[in-house]
Amino acid sequence: MEEVKQIDFGKALLKVLELIIVKPFTLPFQIYKSALLNLANSDSLESEEKVLSSEFPLFTWFIRMFDALIAIIYPIGIILALIAGLNKYTGGFGSFLGMVAATYFAPLGIGLVRELYQLSLKMVLYLKIISKK
């Protein structure tokens, strides 16, 4: 019974609500920002692209393509949402809002695929770093 008294149920409930309600709405923008940072810092000497591109050029290019896709999602999505909203055949304002919502959450799917592919690249990078020490 001692263990139950040490659990802060209020704090646990707040964390559950944050993970279920708040995080899905903040995560797409964090993924978008991360993709932009990865692309901007690709010339850095410590970047995966610089360290592993000589050994895995196709794979590093493939991973960077996901970052590029994430980076262009918002500009293209906004343009498509405006087109859908102004076109009376696609439903007007409802299709505009639907397109904006789909555009906002699209980095979640592409980011998940990128991270699944990037796991193996990260392992190779860390093994290379460890082998140099």
Q: In 3D, which of 106, 100, 94, 110 has the Cα closest to residue 80?
A: 100
Tokens 């050994």, residue? 55
User: In the chain, pLDDT over 70 holds for what percent of residues?
Assistant: 89
- Identity of the residue numbered 98: G
Residue 65 pLDDT:
92
The total domain count for the chain is 1
Domain that holds residue 25: 2-132
What percentage of the chain's residues is helix, strand, coil (to nearest 5)?
Answer: 85, 0, 15
- Mean per-residue pLDDT over the chain, rounded: 85
pLDDT, tens digit (0-9, with 9 covering 90-100), for 3-45 = 556 888 889 899 999 999 999 999 999 999 999 998 888 777 6
Six token digits for residue 89: 């055949």
